[in-house]
């Protein structure tokens, strides 16, 4: 027999040549977003391990939203996942490795808490033989057919994402194996009963895979199959059963089969008295058809001797697991003759591009060798905290290990219903998976989730102090290169940029939650000449963007700031994209003549999406965030910043040492006294701002002598639901909605600037209006779902019913809609000259309306800065070491802010502040 060389090329049955016989095994990382989309960490993780290795098999992607078997799983269940998956495929392939992805469904192995408390599904209503396993719902025959189709569509998405192949996951007791197992499949129809019937499902999955490949890929697309050779259960799959299935699969065509075992030479787990390695039995018993299919071995391959042993015992290809995590360049090391030990230094996670959730897997954690025992983050132990939401008091035990959150328990769980318990368990999973309390909340349970998160934050603060005291240190003696004050978009962007440029950064936030007013942003982020515009064929220019923003601001905008803003907007879009925050959907807002408002492709509100993505980046970098901490003073000596004075929730006052400060605290839209001081005419107006928007940053900076500008320029937003102060996004009008008065008539160009639209509403006799739209607009704007969930929307099946609900004359309303629809067809608004957002006629049932009136939305005025974000005093001299970005700053927007420019402002100038503050500290 010719000796197999692991480092020479290998050709698969379909003619594809692999650069060598080495494969990176598919390993669960739990590092996707909670809904299954790809994170930047995952892309970096796979990119770091590609190149020398022949093939990388990406961890299993679930084919259905009820199919994820672990938190942080990645999905192949919808087309909106393709873009992220493509980044993984590209990251692997661009360095010369083949990229394959597993396709799977967890079946009865899915924990209900991972799928919103729903029942998992399986071939039969038989729970898995494990403690507290849920009994699955048996799939009907029709649902089985649908499931096969879902596998097929998952394969299509893998193809469209650019993968070189798929591995059908028929192992690890997941759904495909469940259908073949006599333990989990006790059906009486064609999908169960006899062994032949039980082969139908895996064979059908292979059939549809072949069909999809013929339609969407070339003949060089790789199809593999992973299998678990035996089951311990009685009845269960035995080795001859496995060979029977593999023979049938081989006859249909496979490019490889992949053993799923812990060691390459494992013997039977059923016939424990027989020491013969299963690979030996496999080679002896396989059919002629199966013998033509390469076989992959996996399990405890660390060094050259393990690789050689695998090949000498009959494996054609060898998959390497944990060793590839510990050594991203494992193939090169082995090829160069290195002898490796399987451990990871505790300070190497970031260098090795290991996502945090994977770092805390027990199998990986066991490899970690602590090299930094004197710098514990937490004092290990359990901390009990009491927190409140609007209705309840929760007692929560938070268990901390030396550098991660280990567990959470709701001590008084018996006091709450299943909905509360489900929310707690979901937030617990998110916190533990990300090793941070800064995670997304659950829609409809925001305050409750914030309470759960606050318990963890408080416990971490106490534990950190205990750890420092135990080492003889002073927990109040803190020092950082840069202090960022405020955790909205500007503050988070600044902190990330500064960290990435080498600064030691802390974010200080006076509220209990991260995000500030950015959480409330809904429309999008304006930018001209972006790659996403070009992809959609939108022709735009920075000069036109500048001109329209200056016109919108009534020529009061600071030209230098506006020029920097416009010129750097595309780079800010790209920076977000590179950090996993993709704003590829494009719409328009009032005052813009071009579609340049970038938002999530799904149409969801930009604010929550943006903060969620930025916080994930904060977590991944380990940037500290101090919540419930209020900066009251910037401390200086000899005109240089030396620290900030803060008050904390317990009333204590401390000084945090720093060389530079970035103020990103937002505006003063929620400060009634300041509003009335500068604009007495706005007394009594509701505000869309969160309660922390009090202008505290302006006050702090004025104490240092900072100048201010445009303080009287306060914007009211035209579409605010008055009982809740909830802002109705401009993207709804940009998507095609209109405004009507109580008389049933249009009265303004709906996408004129906000000041003009607001003034037109205020001039109506009733001082309010309705924003009216149809199902088409709802389908294209996910923010509508939130308005509906908050009971802000009137919904009817017909315009007649809508007129009745609004007490509007039906004939007038019908004539208004018909006239507007004609304008749409002719692309000309004869009444008010509207030219943008005229996308579709309003004629798709059902119909919707929201009662709105103006509310205080944005304060254009603030402290003065230059284009380097340095804060200027009243003589326009630079205040050394002090920078500012976001709504705390004046001058960018002039007398009126264009919708979509605030999000652009916070990211563009947040990034600039992070860079310039880092440049400043590196001078000293």
Phi-psi region of 651 (alpha: psi -120 to 50; beta: other; left: phi over 0): left
Element (H, E) at 783: helix 783-789
For residues 576 and 312, give the distance between their C-alpha atoms in angstroms, rounded to a whole number.
49
Cα 699 to the center of its chain, rounded Å:
35
For residues 475 and 469, give the distance between their C-alpha atoms in angstroms, rounded to a whole number.
7
For residues 450 and 653, give the distance between their C-alpha atoms in angstroms, rounded to a whole number.
25
For residues 369 and 372, give the distance between their C-alpha atoms in angstroms, rounded to a whole number.
9
CA-to-CA dists, residue 311 to 7, 140, 306, 618, 766, angstroms: 12, 44, 9, 44, 83
For residues 59 and 349, give the distance between their C-alpha atoms in angstroms, rounded to a whole number.
19
Residue among 56, 24, 67, 59 nearest 38 (CA): 59
Computed over its alpha carbons, how large is the radius of gyration of the chain? 30
Quote the tokens at residue 204: 């059908």
Residue among 147, 136, 79 nearest 110 (CA): 136
For residues 380 and 416, give the distance between their C-alpha atoms in angstroms, rounded to a whole number.
29
- Cβ atoms within 10 Å, residue 375: 12
Q: CB–CB of 103/147 below 8 Å?
A: no
- Cβ atoms within 10 Å, residue 400: 24
Burial (CB < 10 A; 0-12, 13-18, 19+), residue 904, is buried
Any idea which residues carry the catalytic annotation?
Answer: 754
Element (H, E) at 859: strand 847-859
Residue among 629, 627, 623, 660 nearest 645 (CA): 629
For 131-165, letters b (16+ CB in 10 Å) and e give eeebebbbbeeeebeebbebbbbbbbbbbbbbbbb
Secondary structure class of 459 (helix, strand, coil): helix
Residue 186 phi/psi, 5-degree rounding, is -125, 40
Q: How do 653-663 and 121-122 pair as beta strands? A: unpaired
For residues 319 and 311, give the distance between their C-alpha atoms in angstroms, rounded to a whole number.
11
Secondary structure class of 326 (helix, strand, coil): helix
Burial (CB < 10 A; 0-12, 13-18, 19+), residue 329, is middle
Residue among 34, 884, 204, 167 nearest 488 (CA): 884
């Amino acid at each position: 027999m010719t000796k197999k060389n692991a480092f020479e090329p290998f050709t698969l049955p379909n003619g594809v040549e692999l650069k060598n016989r080495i494969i990176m095994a598919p390993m669960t990382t739990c590092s996707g977003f909670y809904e299954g989309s790809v994170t930047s960490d995952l892309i970096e993780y796979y990119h770091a391990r590609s190149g020398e290795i022949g093939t990388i098999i990406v961890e299993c992607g679930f084919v259905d939203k009820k199919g994820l078997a672990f938190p942080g799983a990645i999905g192949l269940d919808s087309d909106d996942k393709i873009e992220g998956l493509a980044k993984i495929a590209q990251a692997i392939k661009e360095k010369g490795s083949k990229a394959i992805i597993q396709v799977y469904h967890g079946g009865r192995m899915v924990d209900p808490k991972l799928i919103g408390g729903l029942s998992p599904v399986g071939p039969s209503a038989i729970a898995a033989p494990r403690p507290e396993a849920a009994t699955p719902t048996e799939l009907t025959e029709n649902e089985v057919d649908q499931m096969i189709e879902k596998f097929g569509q998952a394969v299509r998405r893998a193809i469209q994402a650019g993968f070189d192949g798929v591995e059908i996951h028929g192992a690890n007791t997941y759904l495909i194996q469940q259908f073949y197992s006599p333990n989990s499949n006790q059906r009486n129809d064609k999908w169960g009963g006899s062994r032949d019937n039980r082969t139908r499902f895996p064979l059908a999955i292979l059939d549809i895979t072949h069909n999809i490949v013929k339609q969407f890929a070339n003949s060089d697309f790789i199809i593999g199959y992973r299998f678990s050779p035996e089951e311990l259960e009685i009845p269960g799959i035995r080795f001859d059963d496995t060979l029977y299935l593999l023979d049938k699969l081989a006859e249909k065509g496979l490019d490889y089969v992949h053993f799923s075992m812990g060691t390459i030479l494992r013997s039977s787990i059923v016939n424990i008295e027989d020491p013969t390695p299963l690979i030996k039995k496999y080679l002896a018993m396989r059919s002629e058809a199966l013998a033509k299919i390469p076989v992959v071995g996996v399990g405890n391959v660390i060094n050259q001797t393990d690789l050689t042993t695998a090949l000498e015992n009959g494996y054609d290809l060898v998959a390497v697991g944990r060793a590839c995590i510990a050594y991203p360049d494992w193939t090169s090391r082995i090829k160069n003759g290195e002898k490796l030990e399987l451990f990871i230094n505790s300070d190497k996670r970031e260098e090795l591009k290991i996502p945090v959730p994977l770092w805390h897997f027990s199998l990986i954690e066991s490899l970690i060798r602590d090299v930094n025992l004197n710098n514990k983050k937490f004092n290990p132990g359990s901390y009990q905290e009491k927190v409140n939401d609007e209705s309840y008091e929760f007692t929560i035990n938070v268990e901390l290990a030396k550098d991660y959150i280990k567990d959470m328990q709701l001590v008084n769980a018996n006091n709450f219903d299943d909905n509360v318990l489900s929310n707690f368990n979901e937030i617990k999973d998110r916190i533990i998976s990300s090793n941070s309390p800064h995670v997304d909340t659950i829609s409809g349970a925001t305050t409750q989730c914030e309470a759960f998160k606050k318990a963890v934050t408080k416990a971490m603060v106490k534990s950190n102090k205990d750890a420092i005291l135990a080492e003889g240190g002073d927990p109040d003696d803190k020092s950082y290169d840069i202090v960022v004050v405020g955790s909205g978009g500007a503050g988070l962007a600044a902190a990330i940029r500064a960290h990435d440029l080498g600064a030691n950064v802390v974010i200080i936030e006076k509220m209990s939650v991260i995000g500030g007013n950015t959480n409330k942003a809904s429309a999008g982020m304006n930018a001209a000449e972006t790659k996403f515009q070009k992809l959609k064929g939108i022709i735009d220019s920075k000069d036109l963007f500048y001109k329209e923003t200056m016109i919108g601001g009534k020529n009061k905008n600071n030209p230098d700031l506006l020029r920097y803003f416009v010129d750097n907007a595309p780079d800010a879009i790209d920076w977000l994209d590179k950090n996993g925050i993709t704003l590829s959907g494009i719409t328009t807002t009032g005052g813009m003549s071009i579609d340049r408002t970038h938002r999530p492709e799904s149409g969801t509100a930009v604010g929550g999406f943006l903060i969620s993505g930025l916080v994930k980046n904060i977590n991944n970098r380990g940037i500290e965030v101090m919540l419930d901490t209020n900066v009251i003073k910037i401390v200086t000596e000899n005109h240089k910043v030396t620290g900030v004075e803060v008050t904390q929730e317990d009333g204590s006052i401390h000084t945090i040492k720093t060389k530079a400060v970035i103020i990103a605290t937002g505006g003063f839209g929620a400060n009634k006294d300041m509003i009335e001081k500068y604009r007495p005419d706005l007394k009594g107006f509701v505000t869309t701002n969160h309660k922390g928007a009090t202008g505290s940053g302006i006050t702090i900076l004025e104490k240092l002598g900072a100048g201010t500008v445009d303080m009287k320029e306060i914007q009211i937003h035209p579409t605010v639901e008055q009982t809740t102060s909830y802002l109705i996004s401009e993207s709804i009008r940009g998507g095609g909605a209109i405004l009507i008065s109580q008389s049933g008539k249009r009265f303004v160009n709906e996408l004129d600037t906000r000041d003009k639209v607001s003034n037109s509403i205020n001039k109506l006799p009733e001082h309010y209006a309705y924003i009216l739209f149809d199902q088409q607009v709802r389908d294209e704007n996910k923010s509508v779902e939130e308005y509906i969930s908050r009971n802000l929307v009137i919904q009817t099946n017909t315009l007649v019913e809508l007129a009745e609900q609004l007490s509007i004359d039906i004939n007038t309303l019908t004539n208004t809609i018909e006239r507007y629809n004609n304008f749409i067809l002719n692309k000309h608004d004869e009444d008010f000259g509207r030219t943008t957002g005229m996308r579709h006629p309003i004629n798709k049932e059902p119909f919707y309306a929201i009662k709105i009136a103006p509310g205080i939305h944005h304060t254009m005025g603030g402290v003065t800065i230059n284009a380097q974000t340095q804060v200027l005093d009243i003589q326009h001299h630079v205040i050394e070491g002090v920078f500012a970005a976001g709504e705390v700053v004046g001058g960018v927007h002039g007398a009126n802010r264009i919708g979509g420019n605030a999000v652009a402002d916070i990211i563009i100038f947040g990034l600039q502040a992070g860079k310039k503050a880092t440049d400043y500290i590196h001078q000293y």
